[in-house]
Chain A
Amino acid sequence: MSFVYKKRLTTIDWINYVLLAIIAIISLFPFVYVFSVSFTDPESYIPLKLYLFPENWSLAAYKYILSTASFINSLMSTVFITVVGTILNLLFTLTMAYALTKKKVPGMKFMMGCVIFTLVFSAGIVPNYLLVKELGLLNSLWALILPNLTNAWSLIVVKSFIDNLPTELEEAAIIDGCNELGVFLKVILPLSMPVIAAFTLFFAVAHWNQYFQALVYLTDSEKWTLQVLVKSLVIDSEAIGAASSGAVSDDSTQPPSETIRMASIVLSMLPILIVYPFLQKHFAKGVMLGSIKG
């Protein structure tokens, strides 16, 4: 090829690099700041000082949080809904999405219509609340799992992924006497690993970050999830003026100090930060799967 890219950086390149670096710093700054304060010794913390690096390294804030029953309880609740919720999400989404690809089976087009209807219309907050209440799920962690077993967007994306799989293997399995259940388990699932990886992550992050349903359905503070606890520790005490936060009240009536609040934020996002570098490419792939459809 006669054509060669210029390797020399032009002025425009330099401006571009500098701007992108500034954008990266803006993206990272809140993380750095929250980390720094959370690892700073609470005794020597000066409220009006700006911390970019932890000073007088200390794990005191973390030790304190991890010693409170409310944090441990909410961590257990959150882990429970994330693990159980994600497994059930995969089960409900994959089975239905595969069945929906069978357009010639009587009733499947109707079911696809039902799925699309739930994509464009929902009954709203109050009717959903009444249903959860009628089912006796208030104050149960199942109230955060059962109403979210699957959703229209996931079903449509996974269905279009399965639609695009090569059909030869499936046909061969049917000739070998395999029924649809066997095809699903032995052929479709192994071929769907990319979409399963992406959706495992999407579902898990959605459960971990879920806030509103936990706020509405879990009135008993012993059942709280991490997001509701962090909200009450950080935002409520901030909004009310740091006067009356009784959320972490195991052994003190003091409002949570800034270092403790920041440590609670760090802990609440820690699992995501740990898996993120390894799994980032799966997330991005998931978006591309979604954009094929919509």
Chain B
Amino acid sequence: MNQLGMETQNISSKANGLLKRILRYRYVYLLVMPGFLFLIIFKFIPMWGLILSFQEYNPFQGIIGSEWVGLKNFKDLFTSEQFYMMFRNTLVINIFSLVFYFPLPIILALMLNEVRHEVFKRVNQSIVYLPHFLSWVVVVSMTYFMLSADVGVLNKLLNQLGMNQVALMSDSKYFWILLTLQSIWKDAGWGTIIFLAAIAGVDPQRYEAAVMDGASRLRQIWHITLPAIRPTIIILLILRLGSMMDIGFEQVLLMYSPVVRDVAEVFDTYAYTQGILRGQISVGVTVGMFKGVVGLILVVAANRIVKRMGYEGLY
């Protein structure tokens, strides 16, 4: 075999190399294909529809034939009163969730961790995890049975005590706190799992040393347990801020009624009512696009921050 022959063989093998490797791994491609086709059809093709936010959608012309209107849809969105309403509601619902919901799984995990009686602990965990598995339809239904003016337990009690009824469910004053209470009832228990795991990772010797030094239980929690789970708390907090645009849409939609519209309207409910119920496709696509892009920026930023702190992020 001479030099020249080897070189030509090299070139042709480089050209064929990729093809050979693809053939070599044909079963890997076979396995990835169903999932990949799914992503293309149901996740990426709809992104093509985002073009509609720059068009005045005409159902008879479709995406290709509809009239281009530039940034008109965005101008309309940003100058509408509803936009500021949606923005405020999204912010307030998030603030309520951060202030009232976020600390509770941490506190509950600390409380559960102090329980020495194994059976009590396990039964308690089983009970507080349970509501997580109910649908929002069931949770909102139960809220009616607890709090509504005519059939609610609360008003039955007030009635028996001879007091006036309160209409919690049809008053926009209570809407945000009701959403938060529902989230707490449904998910605060389930949220403890990740903190309990973090607490379980603390070296028991540190508690033993603290006891030798005469530290009380509360001091042990403050000086050992809390610092040990601080990274978990910080990561979850940052990722929670990163997903601000995704407030429980099904929950809000189920609690939505004309009476509470001013405090309940968020980007997704607006996209649904305008885009699908009223058929203003371009309006719905535009508001969805705005929400998606802001959400994208927030999630990527949150993930960067978590990674820069030296932890593993979402991806």
Residues of A within 8 A of B (CB): 3, 5, 7, 10, 12-13, 16-17, 19-21, 23-24, 26-28, 30-31, 33-34, 37, 47-50, 91-93, 95-100, 102, 105-108, 111, 114-116, 118-131, 146-147, 149-150, 155-156, 179-181, 184, 205, 208-212, 216, 227-228, 230-231, 234-235, 238-239, 242, 258, 261-262, 265, 268-269, 272, 276-277, 280, 283-284, 287-288, 291, 293-294
Contact = CB atoms under 8 A, between A and B. Distances in A.
B162 interface: no
A285 B135 CA distance: 21
A24 to B, nearest CB: 4
Main secondary structure of the interface of B (DSSP, over half): helix
Nearest to B62: A134
B175 to A, nearest CB: 13
Contact of A108 (B28, B185, B239): B28
B38 A150 contact: yes
Interface string B274-296: 01100001001100110111011
30 contacts: A12-B114, A19-B111, A23-B108, A24-B123, A48-B159, A95-B31, A95-B34, A105-B28, A114-B39, A115-B39, A119-B315, A120-B296, A121-B296, A122-B43, A123-B43, A124-B284, A126-B285, A127-B49, A127-B52, A127-B288, A128-B46, A131-B45, A180-B31, A181-B30, A210-B135, A211-B254, A230-B138, A231-B137, A242-B150, A268-B135
B32 to A, nearest CB: 4
Contacts of B190: 287
Contacts of A19: 111
B145 interface: yes
Contacts, number: 273
Contact of A235 (B44, B129, B140, B212): B140
B31 A269 contact: no
A95 B32 CA distance: 6
Contacts of B163: none
Contact of A120 (B18, B32, B299, B312): B299
Contact of A149 (B22, B42, B185): B42
Contacts of B285: 124, 126-127
A211 B27 contact: no
Interface in B11-32: 18, 21-22, 25, 27-32
Interface residues of B, number: 100
B4 interface: no
Contacts of A209: 133-137
Contacts of A149: 34-35, 38, 42
B185 A26 contact: yes
Interface of B: 18, 21-22, 25, 27-32, 34-36, 38-39, 41-50, 52, 108, 111-112, 114-116, 120, 123-124, 126-131, 133-138, 140-142, 144-146, 148, 150-151, 153, 156-157, 159-160, 169, 185, 189-190, 193-194, 197, 208, 211-212, 217-218, 239, 249-250, 253-254, 257, 268, 271-272, 275-276, 281, 284-285, 288-289, 291-293, 295-296, 299-300, 312-315
Contacts of A283: 129, 133
Contacts of A21: 124
A234 B144 contact: yes
Nearest to B197: A288
A92 B77 CA distance: 38
Given A125-B268, A125-B272, A287-B190, 12 more contacts: A23-B128, A47-B150, A48-B156, A116-B315, A118-B44, A124-B284, A130-B49, A149-B34, A149-B42, A156-B315, A234-B141, A235-B140
Contacts of B45: 131
A208 to B, nearest CB: 7
B315 A294 contact: yes
